[in-house]
Amino acid sequence: MTTTAGNLTTTTGNNMTTTAAPNMTSTAGNITTTAVTNVTTTAGNNMTTTVGNNITTTAVNNMTTTAGNNITTTVGNNMTTTAAPNMTTTAGNNIITTAVNNMTTTAVNNMTTTAVNNMTTTAGNNMTTVPPLTPNITVEALETPVSRAECGTQQLCVAEPSVCDPSATGSCFFLAARQQSGSNFDFSISGESDGYIAATLSPDSTVGDNDPTYVCANNNGVVRFFSTVLNNGQLVSTELNVNSVRGRVNGRRIQCSFAATLPSATTRTTGFAISLSDGPFNLTSGDLGSPTTRFRSPAVDLTNVNATVNNEITTTTTTTAAPTTTINHGITFHQSLTQALLITVGALGLAML
């Protein structure tokens, strides 16, 4: 075993066991390792670790790492790893991980990673894993009304009618989407309803197949928020990763904003189909009636704020005019009698010839 260190500091807590197999080489510069209680590391044979400058690893209680033979790890500068309690990583043989600069990994509690043999992971620069939002549907007051001021520049907007202004009076259904990071988005919706308005985001372009639906209801002049899924035309309450809910009611106009973590889009689509709807809300029971769709789009890339999104719902109205009958007893009867006499005279003249 060969160890070459520069500015190496190691602080170990209770009950830490480290067993290094033969032929292990470690080269370190400016590496700090702080280990707490009950950390066990068992390394297999022929393990090579080359660590760049300024790497910090903080391990918490009950973390176990078992590495198989022939594991190679090359870590670039400024890599930070924070592991939560009860994290277990089991790596199979011949696993290679190459991480470059500025990679950040944050692990939540009770995370288990099992790597199979011959697994290779290469991480690019500035890679960040963003956790989903924590559910909280408590509604606070929406101080700033929903607006289309930043449509096409900071947020993607869809509306029915297409020129809908959510700040103006009149029937108008509107949604704005703005990406926070990863699958986390900020949404604003507005619509006219005596019951509720809702926005459905479908990851497979087929709206209504257990798709996440965010509902803002008029609950005696204040907004009540529901996280639901739309399935076969019915809204079913469920917990979604949504929080930061704000709402306001002005007459029939309901407006709310919220943040939500969306599910991953399917491999068949490149975005989400958007549906805006309204429906009845029972104040006594708190039940949501069946929604009526006012706007439906094809799959849309929510990060493309310049996208033009059209309503797929079209209404064709055919009007058949009833026949108009005009009765003018004097003129109409006289004209008919004259025409009859002329025809009779003409017929007699032809007969005489």
Query: Domains (ranges, CATH) in the chain?
Result: 2-123 (no CATH), 139-300 (2.60.40)
Read off the tokens for 100.
């470059």
pLDDT of 88 over the 90 cut: no
| Top mean-pLDDT range of 11-25, 96-110, 118-132 | 118-132
Buried b / exposed e along 176-213 (16+ C-beta atoms within 10 A)? bbbbeeebbbebbbbbbbebbbbbbbbbbbebbeebbb
Q: Which residue has the tokens 């300024």?
A: 54
In sequence order, which ranges of the chain are alpha helices (DSSP H)?
329-352
pLDDT at 33: 47
**pLDDT band at 341, cuts 50/70/90?**
very low
Average pLDDT over residues 256-263: 96
Q: Would you say residue 353 has pLDDT above 70?
A: no
CB 115 within 8 A of CB 139: no
141 membership: H or E segment, kind and range:
strand 139-141
- Whether the pLDDT of residue 214 is over 70: the answer is yes
CB hemisphere CA count around 304 (13 angstroms): 10
Question: How far are the Cα atoms of 269, 345, 346 from residue 349, in angstroms, in the given order?
Answer: 82, 6, 5
State the average pLDDT for the chain. 73
pLDDT of 130: 87
pTM of the shown model = 0.58
How far is the C-alpha of 164 from the C-alpha of 144, rounded, in Å? Answer: 18
| Mean pLDDT of the 254-263 span | 97
Higher pLDDT, 21 or 318: 21
Mean local confidence (pLDDT), 93-103: 50
In this model, does residue 68 exceed pLDDT 60? no
pLDDT at 317: 37
